[in-house]
Structure 1
Amino acid sequence: MSVIALRNATKRFPGAGGRPHTAVRDLTFTVDAGEFVAVVGPTGCGKSTTLSLVSGLEPPSSGEVDVDGVPVRGIPDGVGYMFQTDAVLPWRSVLDNVAAGPRYRGAGRAEARRRAAVWVERVGLAAFDRYYPHQLSGGMRKRVALAQTLVNEPRILLMDEPFSALDVQTRALMQDELLRLWQGTGAAVVFVTHDLEEAIALADRVVVMTSSPATVKGIFDVPLPRPRRVEEIRLTPAFIDTYREIWQSLREEVERAREEASRRAA
């Protein structure tokens, strides 16, 4: 049984003039335990809405969204969510930022800090555990955010363009770091990105969404072995062939979204 299953899931929001705006429609795909699925599509097509449906932050207007075979009626247990902007608290040190999750879940202060210290070390920040967010680089803050998410040992990891604000070199390092820390955890990952190269380098499958209102246009397997180093894997013929195949599908939707935006602007 799949950990995550969307079946004809549709989400509508109130729109201008009282007419509903359909963000996503008839979404259907699954994610298994230990599987890394990336979601790509044109800007504003509803990729983040998909994560909101899985996380329980938004209920579907119609269709079904299940986690572990149970319809999502609230935030399911075992879900970790990493946003585009990090959620580090400026008045807390690195260690105490990472310890906050276990504390909220009922762990005592000493136990929470012990668990946090393990993850601070795993993300390479043991020497900076007493630093505050304003003393850290952008990449280091992302490492804190990653530790904040993984310290709770989520069964489902939802990631909404978490590395998009980073420079190219730091982004590649964080992609490798994510793969290293995720490998072997058994967590199901849904990773939203605008970057097709990032999607292919990380994922087992890539879901291509149509222009708004988004639905699933195609699902592509990524035939690249694990473990991976993203900068090395991008140079292989298999990566290039996979990119070419998926881009042919994605390009049509990007062009359609651009034409629609131009039409509205006119």
Structure 2
Amino acid sequence: MNMTHSNEKKDAPAIELDNVSIRFISPDGRATVALRDFSMTVRHGEFVAVVGPTGCGKSTTLGLITGLIRPTLGSVKVMGQTVQDTDPRIGFVFQSDAVFPWRRVLDNVAAGPLFRGMARNAALDLAQSWLARVGLDKFGQHYPHQLSGGMRKRVALAQTFINKPEILLMDEPFSALDMQTRTLMQDELLKLWSEQSGSVVFVTHDLEEAIALADRVLVLTARPATLKRVYEVDLPRPRVMEQVRYQPQFIELSRQIWSDLRQEVHIG
């Protein structure tokens, strides 16, 4: 890893994208601009949701933060340092299950600590404690295909939080779940996040999910995406998902953000 941490600015944001533009060149030589003059800042311990029209470049912002995508113009910083490579302090939860299908659930959750050099017995003990925290302590010897979608997503959360990420990037992680399971997983995420206090960037197409989870909601324009508006979510924490949606502030904020987003959806 090329990024050094010793000279980081203590007062720097956890994440900072400054006037970033991304241009992709297709195999036939055509250029596509995914982001244009895009800026965003995420403070330490903050939960930020990103919404925008389908295909506008929401997931591209996560790729920039991980270092897997390099900006054509502009700068991307994590903890005050320009991103040069992948950073072990960043965790990622995908829309699809990022589990090893041939490994038991317990081994899947222990994979991160083992990769970081922890002794096997210690890693397995830690993994078992995390399975208990997400309600899967009796399923450690199962394989992923033996679990429901919601259970596999709990495995993914345990798999990520066991590494104590300082930054958590989530790309529509609950979109494939039914509404009841999705609500349970949102509550689970908020509980785990409140215990570790890392920074979260949560990409979603679900406006209500964004408002219910986040401290701020960033609305992107149609492609090429730039930041259209930032909404502060002034709803008290801790939040319970099945309750927060009925609060008057939530309903009014949902109306305001949808008015902004609907214009971009029509353009897209």
**Residue 134 of structure 2: aligned partner:** 123
Letter in 1 for 2:134: V
Q: Does 1:113 align with 2:130?
A: no
Q: Does 1:180 align with 2:191?
A: yes
Letter in 2 for 1:154: P
Cα shift at 1:15: 2.8
**Residue 35 of structure 2: aligned partner:** 24
Larger helix proportion of the pair: 1
Distance 1:226 1:174 in 2: 17
TM-score, reference length from structure 2: 0.94
TM-score, reference length from structure 1: 0.95
Distance 2:109 2:171 in 1: 19
**Residue 261 of structure 1: aligned partner:** none
Distance 1:64 1:114 in 2: 41
Matches within 5 A, 1:106-255: 106-255=117-266
Kindly tell me the number of residue pairs found equivalent between the two proteins: 257
Letter in 2 for 1:246: I
8 Å CA contact retained: 1:41, 1:250: yes
Higher mean C-alpha deviation, range 244-253 or range 11-20? 11-20
In the alignment, which of 95, 105, 118 is matched to residue 84 of structure 1? 95
Q: Does 1:56 align with 2:67?
A: yes
Distance 1:73 1:32 in 2: 20
8 Å CA contact retained: 1:34, 1:184: no
Higher mean C-alpha deviation, range 169-178 or range 102-111? 102-111
> What is the CA deviation profile of residues 140-175 of structure 1, one whole-angstrom value per residue up to 9, with x for unaligned ones?
000001111111000000000000000011000000
Distance 2:122 2:15 in 1: 31
Dislocated runs of 4+, deviation >4 Å: none
**Residue 110 of structure 2: aligned partner:** 99
Unaligned runs of 5+ in 2: 1-11
Distance 1:17 1:109 in 2: 49
Unaligned runs of 5+ in 1: 258-266
In the alignment, which of 1, 13, 30 is matched to residue 24 of structure 2? 13
The SS at the match of 1:243 is helix
8 Å CA contact retained: 1:57, 1:75: yes
Distance 1:168 1:186 in 2: 26
Distance 1:234 1:224 in 2: 10
Letter in 1 for 2:68: L
